[in-house]
Amino acid sequence: MVAGLGRRPKNGPKNSPRNRPKTKDTRPIWMEKPKPAMQVSKAIALVVICFLALYPLLAVLATSLSSQSEIANNNGLVLFPKEPTFAAYQTIFAGGVVTDALIRSLVITTVGTALSLVVTVAMAYGLTRRDLVGGRFFLMTALFTMLFSPGIIPSFLMVKELGLLDSYAALVLPTLMSAFNLVVVRSFFMNLPQELFEAAKIDGAGDFRILVQMVLPLSRGVLAVVGLFYAVGYWNAFFNAMLYLNDDKWPLSMILRQYVLLGQPMGDSAVAEIAVPSQAIQMAVVVISLIPIVIVFPFLQRYFTKGVLTGAIKG
C-alpha cells in the first residue's frame, strides 16, 4: 500500500529478494570479499539476534518440561532440564479447563478464518470489475475504515445491541474482515492475467464460476498468507473474549491470561493440581498456545520471502 516507493528492477520482483539467482553464493562480481573482521562481527550479530528472538521461547519450553523441584532448586530458572518430564502436560490434558479452551480456540479460529476468507475473497473479487456499479463507493467504504476506529465503547455497545453478548459470534463478527487484507487480495486478483477471464466469459462462464474455477486456484499463495493473518488474529485475540464472554466460554488466550498472567486458579477446575498453578504448568499452557503458530509458520513463511507480501504491502 505504501505505493510508489521506487522504481522496479527490470526483471520485476520475480526472483525476490533482489533478483538473486538461486545459486549458493550470490555475491555480485563487483563486490569485494569482506574483511574477516567484518565477517566475524556480522556473524556474531546474526547469532545474537537469533538468540534474542528465540531464547525467550526456549526458556518457556525448558521450564514447562522441568519438574517443580528442579525449578525450585534453580531459583525458577532452568535452561536445560536435566530430567525432562511431561508431567505438566499430562496434568493439563488430564482434563478440564485448558483442554476445553484449546478445543474452543481451535474451533473459533477455524470457523472464523473460513468465514473471513469467504467474505474477503467475495468482496475483493466483486471489486475487481473496473466499471462496477457503485464500485468506487464500495471500495472507499472499506478503505476509510483503515483511517478510523469507532472506539471501544461504541463497538461494545454495538455488539450488545445486536444481542451478541456472551456468544461466540462476538469473537468473530466484529473482526470479520480487515480492509488491509481486502486490498491485498483484490490487488492480487487484479494482477492475474485478465485475458484468461475475458476468454472464459466469451465461452459463457459466469462471474461466480470464473471466481471458483479460475481465480481461486491461481490465488493459493495470497489466500494462504491472508488466511494466516486471520487465523493468527483469531488465535491470539483475547480482548473481545474478555469483553463479551463469560468465563465458561473462554478461549485459550483468556485462560492463559487468567491463569498465567494473573496467576489465578481456574475457577471450577475439576483437576486439583491446576487449582494451584505451578510454574511448569503455566509455561506448558504457554507452549500449547504457541504450538499452532510454530507449526503453521514454516509452511507459510516461504510466501513472505517470495514477494507475495512485499507486493501486497506495496500494492
Partner 1 sequence: MSSNSQTLTPQATPDAAGLAPVAEGRRRGRPPAEPAARQARKKSLMARIRRDKVMLLLIAPGFLYFVVFHYVPLAGNVIAFLDYKPYLGFVDSVWVGLDNFAAMFQDGAFWEALRNTLVITGLQLALFFPVPICLALLLNSIVSNKIRKFVQSVVYLPHFIGWVIIVAVFSEVLGATGAVPHLLESLGLPRFDAMTTPEFFPFLVTIQSIWKDAGWGTIIFLAALMNVDQELYEAAAVDGANARHRLWHITLPGIMPVIVLLLILNLGSILSVGFEQIVLQRDNVGPGAGEVLDTYVYFHGIQDGQWGPAAAVGLVKGIVGLILVLGANKLAHFFGQEGVYSNGKSK
Interface map 191-210 toward partner 1 (x if CB under 8 A):
x--x---x--x----xxx--
Least distance in angstroms from the C-beta of 88 to partner 1: 14
**How far apart (Å, rounded) are the C-alpha atoms in residues 174 and 189?**
25
Interaction of residue 307 with partner 1, rule CB under 8 A: yes
Question: Which of the stretches 25-33, 95-103, 106-114, 265-273 binds partner 1 when contact is defined by CB under 8 A?
Answer: 25-33
**How far apart (Å, rounded) are the C-alpha atoms in residues 65 and 74?**
14
Restricting to residues 44-103, which ones interact with partner 1 according to CB under 8 A? 45-46, 49-50, 52-57, 59-60, 63, 75-77, 79
Select from 40, 103, 275, 290 the one that contacts partner 1 (CB under 8 A): 290
Per the structure block, which three cell numbers stand in for 264? Answer: 489465578
> Which residue in 116, 142, 99 sits closest to 231, CA to CA?
116
Question: Radius of gyration (Cα) for the chain, nearest Å?
Answer: 24
Interaction of residue 270 with partner 1, rule CB under 8 A: no
Least distance in angstroms from the C-beta of 95 to partner 1: 22
Q: 3-state SS of 270-300?
A: CCHHHHCCCHHHHHHHHHHHHHHHHHHHHHH
Which DSSP state fits 37?
Answer: H
Cβ proximity of 128 and 183 under 8 Å: no
Count Cβ atoms below 10 Å from residue 308 Cβ, excluding itself.
22
Least distance in angstroms from the C-beta of 83 to partner 1: 20
Select from 100, 214, 273, 314 the one that contacts partner 1 (CB under 8 A): 314
Select from 42, 44, 107, 196 the one that contacts partner 1 (CB under 8 A): 42
**How far apart (Å, rounded) are the C-alpha atoms in residues 244 and 45?**
45
Provide the residue type at 36 as one letter: P
Interaction of residue 165 with partner 1, rule CB under 8 A: no
Per the structure block, which three cell numbers stand in for 301? Answer: 513463511
Interaction of residue 301 with partner 1, rule CB under 8 A: yes
**Stretch (H or E) spanning 50:** helix 36-64
Interaction of residue 36 with partner 1, rule CB under 8 A: no
Select from 154, 267, 270, 275 the one that contacts partner 1 (CB under 8 A): 154
| Count of chain residues binding partner 1 (CB under 8 A) | 145
Select from 85, 99, 100, 156 the one that contacts partner 1 (CB under 8 A): 156
Question: Which of the stretches 81-89, 96-104, 141-149, 267-275 binds partner 1 when contact is defined by CB under 8 A?
Answer: 141-149
Select from 87, 88, 108, 177 the one that contacts partner 1 (CB under 8 A): 177
Interaction of residue 14 with partner 1, rule CB under 8 A: yes
Cβ proximity of 88 and 281 under 8 Å: yes
Interface map 207-236 toward partner 1 (x if CB under 8 A):
xx--x------xxxxx-----x---x--xx
Interaction of residue 188 with partner 1, rule CB under 8 A: yes
To which residue does cell 538461486 refer?
Answer: 22
Interaction of residue 247 with partner 1, rule CB under 8 A: no
Interaction of residue 126 with partner 1, rule CB under 8 A: yes
Nearer to partner 1, 85 or 236 (CB): 236
Count Cβ atoms below 10 Å from residue 143 Cβ, excluding itself.
14
To which residue does cell 479447563 refer?
Answer: 97
**How far apart (Å, rounded) are the C-alpha atoms in residues 134 and 151?**
28
